[in-house]
Amino acid sequence: MLKAFGKTDVGNVREMNQDDFNCGVLGEDAVFAVVCDGMGGEKGGNIASRTACDIVTDSVTAAYGSGFGDNSIRGILQTAVTAANVSVFDRSQRDPDLRGMGTTIVAAIVCGGMAHVIHAGDSRAYHVTENGIEQVTKDHSVVQLLVDRGEITADEARFHPKKHFITRALGVMSIIDPDYCEFPIQEGEAIMVCTDGLSNYFSNGELFNMIKNAGYNKCVDKLIAAAKKAGGADNITVVCITR
């Protein structure tokens, strides 16, 4: 049976939590999750992430039906993210105080033994198995471009001064071009979705060891606690989907 559970924490430094998330059951053997990390000033980031989470949640829950094929699920996620992008962008254009706000987004639907993931920005989704962990999203960020060009290593990217500069986000422009992937998820496996308040601190191996030691049911709290212990300089959000 599929389960989805998550938590968000302001961290140790920030006064406001501009992360947001939703997760829950869509139907028999179907769950969803959406995680956002807002940006754009004291008010803007919070509004962008909350708006995007709410619209994606409403859109996905209204559109999903049992027995849908892979193409239908992909269409549901693309439509939901497009609607959220329009809403956040339009609001930023109407209110000068919110001009330029936006948010990262990772949204996932797991059903029928398949995981469907759509994203924009540097919040991440990982596929966790008994043998290891794989990052299934690719950061839309300046440092990722440097990694792709071979100018820095993945380890160097974690500590690069421009690691917070993202190249794609929801709500910043009138249209959005999110990336999408899908893959099988077996019994005993999980998907972990998080903001960079977690991923900035730990390598894939460290994340896997913490998840394995805590177990899927307790890993969300353990991962957030570890990020806070490591510094907690940013808001931290973690969602785990397991079957």
CATH number at residue 54: 3.60.40.10
Q: H or E stretch including 32?
A: strand 30-39
DSSP element (H, E) containing 31: strand 30-39
What pLDDT sits at residue 78?
98
What b/e readout covers 53-92, taking b as 16+ CB neighbours within 10 angstroms? bbbbbebbbebbeeebeeeebbebbeebbbebbbbbbebb
Domain count, the chain: 1
pLDDT at 48: 97
Residue type, 140: H
Q: What is the pLDDT of residue 58?
A: 98
**How far is the C-alpha of 229 from the C-alpha of 235, rounded, in Å?**
13
pLDDT, position 149: 87
Give backbone dihedrals phi and psi of 181, rounded to 5 degrees, phi first: -145, 160
Phi, psi (deg, nearest 5) at residue 213: -70, -35
At residue 229, the pLDDT reads 98
DSSP 10: -
Residue 233: per-residue pLDDT = 95
Partners of 40 in the β-ladder: none
Task: Look at the chain and count its residues.
Answer: 243
Q: Name residues of the chain where pLDDT drops below 50.
A: none
The boundaries of the domain holding residue 107 are 3-242
pLDDT digits (tens, 9 = 90+) for 38-66: 998 767 999 999 999 999 999 999 999 98
